[in-house]
Structure 1
Amino acid sequence: MQNHRKSNSSLRIGGLPKHFPRVHALIAGTAAFMLSLAIIIPTPEVAAKRTPLPVNLSAVTSTDEPLPTPAPTFTPAETPLLNVSVEAVKSLSLQVRNGDTLSDLFQRAKISAKEMYQLLGSGSEAKQLARLAPGEELTFQMNNDGQLQSLKLQRDRLSHIEFTRTTSDQFEHALIQREPDSHPAYRQAQIDSSLFLAGSDAGLSDSLIMEMADVFSSDIDFALDIRKDDHFSVMFEEQFLDGEKIGNGPILAVSFTNQGKTFSAVRYVDNSGDANYYTPEGKSMRKAFIRTPLDIVRISSHFNPRRLHPVFKSRRPHNGTDYAAPRGTPVYTTGDGRVIAAGYSKPNGNYVFIQHGERYVTRYLHLTKRKVKRGQRVKQHQVIGTVGSTGYATGPHLHYEFLVDGRHRNPATIVRKLPKAKSVPASEMIRFKNQTQPLLAKLENFQGPALAQLDEDNP
């Protein structure tokens, strides 16, 4: 019995006692339960690591290693688009060269004539593509099959027209017009030999010089009246696009001193949107007739009733004024009127006669080309032909005659005696003053130091 109790009390399984005291078993069970809870419920630190947090991109600083790109996710209702192809569009820009036609440019772009005719037939706006000018630019866009998708015609830096193929396989057009930035500019000069040289030295373009001469064409004969030390001041617009100068706008205000007499003019846009030049008091700078039918040229023969004819060597009256100028120089009508004759004769060559109202007729002889037809209405300063030497002429020049009530008068002096065009109406005088006085004030501010400098140069 004694041996038997001893062996039961010392029985072991796996080196551990098979039977514990009751207290020990309770402690062991509690520890096992707590351990299982620790495994199932993570600590706050572990939970924080497992829960993704939103990332504030603005607070992320750059590192040497790029952030990983998350894989795209889709909701059950979404299905990713697969195998979607976008058709490539090729673009080609071609500049119009001398002699180019639209067909030439389509061939160069390797687009079929069928596409060209489809575009030309899309509307009246497309027909202007048949009238291309050298220097203009065409930009073609076509797909891989060579089908035209769009065509842009760049007329100049400020405007272009674009034709685009629609879903109905037609072409629609859109005119895009940009407005340049305009800023006033000022130039002044004193004449030593000619207006052109003085203007060019002052930085004026040829077109601005001609515009200034046209403003004063009723008061100053730039072929006869210009003298050394005459001077001018002019304020005009300079136009800029994207910070780059692209050209000049109109003259805003101008002053010209000729033989000690000063003439001033300012630009005014009336209620109808028409722009003209007036004196500071609102009187029109235009007379019924301008002084000369050509831009600044040389008079080769004056009005002379007892002139010796250079061809026939006999005394024959010279009933007009001859202006020597290069062949092809534009000839302008000196006043509004109607063409009563336009043709050719052996003595006159190509000629144009214009009736102005009931009393006045002007004649233009020895033209290379006539630009008007009989019965046509013309406006002052409209081109009616070009200088030539047709008929009885020893060289290229324009013979100009002025008749009043059927009698020849001296063209160089008769214009001074004719009335001016209409002045600003009384109903618009307040508007005229509000628009023009700031321009004249700016011109005067510019003139102050400029005239002082002229006085220092010519004590």
Structure 2
Amino acid sequence: MLKRILSIILFMVLLTSCQEGASKKNTNKSIAKDSLVTKATEKPKDLKFGLNLEDYEVHFDTVRRGDFFGGILDQHKVNPQMVYTITQQIPDTVFNSRKINVGKPYLILKDKDSLRTLGMIYENSKVEATKLFFDDSIYVEKHIKPIVEKKKIASGVITSSLSQAIDDAGINYRVTSKFADIYQWSVDFFKLQKGDQFKIIYNERFIDDTVSIGVGEIDAAILKHKDREFYAFNFLVDSTTGRYDYFDEKAKTLRSFFLKAPIQYSRISSRYTRKRFHPVQKRWKAHLGTDYAAPTGTPIWATADGVVTKSGYTRGNGNYVKLKHTNKYSTQYLHMSKRAVKVGEYVKQGELIGYVGATGLATGPHVCYRFWVNGKQVDPYKQDLPDAEPMEEEMKPSYFEFIQPIKEELDSLEYIEVDVEA
């Protein structure tokens, strides 16, 4: 009988223990599930300048005329002794409190409960800010906003100028000069026609996902000029130096031994001709050069690598520079307001050699560009000029594989049409 009673008691103890264990296990499961739900639905912190601004009472403002660092902090009840300590302890190379600029945004950070001023964030630029804290101790650091590049694809049509067409297409205006640089060897921008079209894939840089701060490289483009398509693809040609260059759909370089013009595209006011009425001398004579009209001070660059053989002034030429490129080719640049090179200097293609002016026999600011082949002055636009160094043969298979999807993307984009007669 006693054995039976003990067996019943033991059974009851074991049953109770199992029930408690199951209960605890179920409770643990419930807690774990609730934790997961809380974690999944928790709102992520909105970090700006690397801080959660919701932790502070924040005052947004902009530096106004007459504002100065100490005065701004005084408005927020920071005592003069603290201001003095800040200016003494922080080097000017980190934060120059004497050079806060009108129009720059800043934030004052305060304790939410006591409204005691804890720090200041000064936005040096769209990308960089200085974070300054001075509550318990003085602490300062630079904050660089993360920059994101976004790929953009667009098309446009020229109705008046390239820059206007870029703007009309809603493309960042900084793309204009990059686009012109790509084609400066192969297309005469002084002869662009109404109705010429283009398509482009480029990269634009943003901070805060929406604020544009510039453009990166153009990945690919097509310029349709006189019903001929000029392709351009940006390709890594030297992984050691990281050098990229542009080539067409047949792997032919877009570079030429000579640039098409000695200045950024503007306007040709007079072309090479055997007979022209001289506006200053008032008589008919040959004009053995090409005049590019541009504002005084516009940079003039060398159209090819070469050595400066002349840099001086004459009554007719004004300030001028002459370059020898090879035994076969020479170029000359006249009427400069100022020369930037001396005789004997070696200059690279695209390097600055002077500035547009109206010195010598000139009626307005321009550069007269002259071209010699084997000692004879000729029209550069009628010469079969050599290309730059071609792509190496062993690179071509990887190049064609690389450009295939990019070309398909460009080709699938429709051109913008315009009524050229309108």
- Please list the CA deviations of residues 35-59 of structure 1 after superposition, one character each: whole Å capped at 9, or x if unmatched: xxxxxxxxxxxxxxxxxxxxx9xx9
SS in 1 for 2:411: helix
Query: Which residue is 1:228 aligned to?
Result: 194
Give the drift of 1:294. 1.9
Partner of 2:150: 182
Asked whether the equivalents of residues 197 and 223 of structure 2 are also in contact (C-alpha less than 8 Å), the reply is yes
- Structure 1 residue 342 corresponds to structure 2 residue 315: no
* Conservation of the 8 A alpha-carbon contact between 1:136 and 1:154: no
**How far does residue 291 in structure 1 lie from its aligned partner after superposition?**
0.9
Q: TM-score, normalised by structure 1?
A: 0.61
Residue of structure 1 equivalent to 2:290: 321
The structure that is strand-richer by fraction is 2
- The alignment status of 1:436 with 2:381, answered yes or no, reads no
The alignment status of 1:266 with 2:229, answered yes or no, reads no
- The residue identity in structure 1 corresponding to 2:372 is L
Within the candidate set 415, 420, 428, 2:387 is matched to 420
**Shift of residue 253, structure 1, vs aligned partner:** 0.9
One-letter identity of the residue aligned with 2:402: Q
Please name the residue that 1:382 is paired with. Answer: 351
Give the superposition deviation at 1:280: 1.7
Structure 1 equivalent of residue 57 of structure 2 = none
Is this contact kept in 1: 2:292–2:366, CA < 8 A?
A: yes
Shift in Å, 1:299 = 1.3
> Using the alignment, how far apart are the partners of 2:314 and 2:63 within structure 1?
44
Deviation at 1:266, TM superposition (A): 0.8
* Pair 1:316–1:274, CA change in 2 (3 A): same
Gaps of 5+ in 1: 1-55, 60-92, 98-104, 121-125, 140-150, 164-171
CA distance in 1 between counterparts of 2:403 and 2:386 reads 24
Query: Cα gap change, 1:385/1:95 in structure 2, threshold over 3 Å: closer, same or farther?
Result: farther
Check 1:255–1:351 CA distance in 2 against 1; reply closer, same or farther (3 A cut).
same
The residue that corresponds to 1:207 in the other structure is 174
* AA in 2 matched with 1:454: E
Partner of 1:294: 263
Which residue, 293, 296, 299 being the options, matches 1:330? 299
Do the aligned partners of residues 302 and 138 (structure 1) sit closer, same or farther apart at CA in structure 2, a change above 3 Å counting?
same
Q: 1:245 to 1:298 in 2, by over 3 A?
A: same
Aligned-partner Cα distance in 2 for 1:178–1:233: 29
Is it true that 1:393 corresponds to 2:362 in the alignment? Answer: yes
Query: For each residue in 1:263-306, what CA deviation from the matched residue of structure 2 results, as whole angstroms up to 9, or x when unmatched?
Result: 11111122231121111221110100111112222211111233
* Counterpart in the other structure of 2:165: 198
Match of 2:209 among 243, 247, 252: 243
Distance 1:235 1:378, change over 3 A: same
CA deviation profile, 1:389-430 (whole Å, cap 9, x unmatched): 11221111111111122221112322xx11111222123224
Q: For the residues of structure 1 that align with 2:244 and 2:131, how far apart are their CA atoms?
A: 31
**Aligned counterpart, 1:33:** none
| 1:14-163 → structure 2 map (5 Å cutoff) | 156-158=125-127
Q: Provide the secondary structure at the position in 2 that maps to 1:454.
A: coil
358-367 vs 196-205, greater mean Cα deviation? 196-205
Partner of residue 454, structure 1: 417
**1:136/1:156 contact within 8 Å kept:** no
Distance 1:109 1:382 in 2: 46
Contact residue 251 and residue 396 of structure 2 kept, 8 A: yes
| Contact in 2 for aligned 1:187/1:204 (Cα 8 Å) | no
Contact residue 288 and residue 420 of structure 1 kept, 8 A: yes
Which of 365, 368, 371 is 1:402 aligned to? 371
Show structure 2 runs of 5+ residues with no match: 1-30, 35-60, 74-82, 107-119, 133-139
CA distance in 2, matches of 1:321, 1:435: 40
Q: Displacement, 1:343?
A: 3.1
In the alignment of these two chains, the number of paired residues is 345
Partners of 2:155 and 2:399 in 1: how far apart?
24
Shift of 1:109: 9.9
Check the 8 A contact 2:153/2:199 in 1, yes or no: no
Secondary structure (helix, strand or coil) at the match of 1:440 reads helix
Q: Residues 5-61 of structure 1, C-alpha deviation per residue, up to 9 Å, x if partnerless?
A: xxxxxxxxxxxxxxxxxxxxxxxxxxxxxxxxxxxxxxxxxxxxxxxxxxx9xx9xx
Q: Which residue of 2 aligns with 1:30?
A: none
Question: Take 1:323 and 1:457, find their aligned partners in 2: how far apart are those partners?
Answer: 26
Structure 1 stretch displaced more, 254-263 or 433-442? 433-442
Which gives a bigger RCO, structure 1 or 2 (Cα 8 Å, sep 6+)?
2
Distance verdict in 2 for CA 1:252–1:393, change over 3 Å: same
* Residue aligned with 1:372, SS: coil
Contact 2:301 2:349 survives alignment (8 Å): yes
